[in-house]
Amino acid sequence: MASTADFLAAVQVPSKQELPLRTLPLAVAAFSSKVGNQLIKALGNAAPLADQKHLKRVRKAPDDGALLEAILCVLPDDAVSRKAAGATGASAEAQAEEATVSGGHVAGTGCGTDVSPDLLPEALRDLYMEQGGVRLRLLHGAAYPPQTRQQWEAWTKLWPITWRIPDHGTPVTEETPVDQATQRYFEHHMRLALQLAAASSADNAALIVSPPSLTPLAEAVDGSGSHPLRHAVMAAIQVASERDLALWPPSVNDEPQGMEAMAIAAPIADPGLRTSSGSGAGPASADGASAGRQEDGPAVQGFRAGVTAEDRASAAAAGEELASKRPRLGAGPHEAGASRPYMCTGYDCFVVMEPCIMCSMALVHSRVQRVIYCRPDPQHGALGGERRLHACRSLNHNYEVFRIELKS
């Protein structure tokens, strides 16, 4: 059935949910354009807008070129009547939403509602009088910076906003389809993952692939029934690491570090772990039961048995090319002999079920480039289901996430 499976269009899973517009009540007054520089300096000293830096402090009055309009402060909720705040705020948000759809101008946002100077703090009330302020009004502006250019184009019609590209780039807030070549590549490997899971009577299977190759580097099925950590993704990463160890054996002076040392000290044997060479054990049982191993698991034993001196020579000769594409182990560039890539840098991971938090973090540490899954998990999924781990920019690595579902 998996060999003839039809898929829906693959989409990139958004890293963030698009934020709806929320507005703030602003006390805005008009001043002569001749006092512009002096006014901006005085406002910055009297009432800096530390939490609203995305809003421009001053704009030209839309109805009088000789006047400037300036934000004096954000009015507290209790300083504005419930009727004025509710009516104006709802109108502003509705107008901005309509502008987003139609691309038109937000009508009436320059009018506002007249307010009394008594609502201002004393320092701003004095500044308003000293600078010759007129027509103090209540207007609304966006409460936080826009995420996308489209949001900026709509929200800036309420009150001008300074557009800044987000620190980590514009977040993906909509499901974006992939191109046809990528769709075919995704379908090929997801079909293989589904076949592997079906042949092993398992719910989940994972592949590690070096794009754009059509042959997986490593594959594994879920064995969490016999070991709580033996999820398909975790097992596939282990096989990919063992493959690297077989191709680039550590020298006598090398000391294993980090996850490599842990894998050597406490390997998880699983007959369902398989490398692309086809060596090692066949498909695992449904519970991933293991026959055990002494030093190396069946995956790495079988793979090492199939790695010839010529293969290692080819891998060493390709070291410089690999190094140019994938970061290498070692402290720095002075280690000219180090050519082994770090874990799964630059690889794609195809997995039937949406990864959980544990597997998603393992993929972060293994440095994969993309994660592609077939079946969403709204209860435990960490890449679009229950959480969006790929939106956490504080992590030391981020990957792209795609979903390619089967047609019902």
Crossing angle of the two packed helices 232-247 and 258-265, in degrees rounded to 10: 100
pTM of the shown model: 0.52
pLDDT tens across the length of the chain (408 residues): 455 678 999 998 886 666 688 899 999 999 998 888 888 899 988 899 988 989 999 999 988 888 999 999 998 876 665 445 444 444 545 544 444 433 333 433 456 788 888 888 999 999 999 888 888 999 999 998 887 778 888 999 999 998 876 554 555 566 789 999 999 999 999 999 999 999 999 999 999 999 999 999 999 999 998 999 999 999 999 999 898 888 888 765 555 555 444 444 444 445 455 555 443 333 443 344 333 333 444 444 444 445 555 555 555 554 444 433 444 433 333 333 446 678 899 999 999 999 999 999 999 999 999 999 999 998 899 888 888 888 777 788 989 999 999 987
Q: Which of 268, 269, 272 is nearest to 288 (CA)?
A: 272
| The predicted structure's pLDDT at residue 275 | 52
Q: Residue 195 gets which letter from DSSP?
A: H
Distance of CA 193 to the CA centre of its chain: 24
Nearest 5°: CA angle at 231, between 229 and 233? 120
CA-based radius of gyration for the chain: 30
| The predicted structure's pLDDT at residue 114 | 87
Distance of CA 264 to the CA centre of its chain: 32
Task: Tell me: cis bond preceding 212? Omega within 30 of 0 counts.
Answer: yes
Cβ pair 284, 221 in contact under 8 A: yes
| The predicted structure's pLDDT at residue 100 | 41
Cβ pair 57, 48 in contact under 8 A: no
The label of the residue with tokens 């490997």 reads 189
Structural domains in the chain? 23-155 (no CATH), 176-403 (3.40.140.10)
Q: Phi then psi for 275, rounded to 5 degrees? A: -100, 175
Q: Are strands 348-353 and 370-375 parallel, antiparallel or unpaired?
A: parallel
The label of the residue with tokens 């049982």 reads 285
Distance linking the first and last C-alpha atoms of the chain: 13
**Alpha-carbon span 287 to 289, nearest angstrom:** 5
Which residue type is seen at 233? V
Q: Residue 95 gets which letter from DSSP?
A: H
